[in-house]
């Protein structure tokens, strides 16, 4: 049976590998990207009732998507 050594940091907590950190970061960023898309979709729905409010919500969704795309690009 092969034993796997776990890295333990100064605080006594187990450290994650780079792949584990990347997988968690992907999950978190994916949720924020869905949030941006959801805000844009809600903005599209709101355009039916109030054009300016709907456009403002779509712009907010676009900004959220762009912020997290830029964040993913720089890492």
What is the rounded distance in angstroms from the CA atom of residue 18 to the CA atom of residue 10? 18
Domain count for the chain:
1
Q: In this structure, is residue 68 part of a structural domain? A: yes
Query: Is 6 inside any structural domain?
Result: no
Question: Is 13 inside a domain boundary?
Answer: no
| 47 part of a folded domain | yes
CB count within 10 Å of CB 36 equals: 19
Domain extent, residue 55, equals 32-74
Q: Is this structure's pTM higher than 0.85?
A: no
Structural domain contains residue 14? no
Angle at 11 between CA 10 and CA 17, to 5 degrees: 75
For residue range 11-31, list pLDDT tens digits in order.
777 788 888 888 887 887 778
Q: How far apart are CA 42 and CA 54, in angstroms?
A: 8
At residue 23, the 3 state secondary structure works out as helix
| Digit-coded pLDDT (tens) for 32-63 | 788 888 888 888 888 888 899 999 998 988 88
């Amino acid at each position: 049976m092969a034993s796997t050594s776990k890295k333990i940091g100064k605080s006594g907590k187990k450290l994650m590998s780079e792949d584990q950190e990347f997988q968690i970061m992907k999950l978190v960023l994916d949720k924020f990207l869905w949030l941006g898309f959801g805000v844009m979709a809600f903005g599209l729905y709101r355009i039916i009732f109030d054009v300016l409010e709907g456009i403002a919500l779509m712009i907010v969704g676009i900004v959220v998507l762009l912020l997290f795309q830029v964040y993913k690009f720089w890492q």
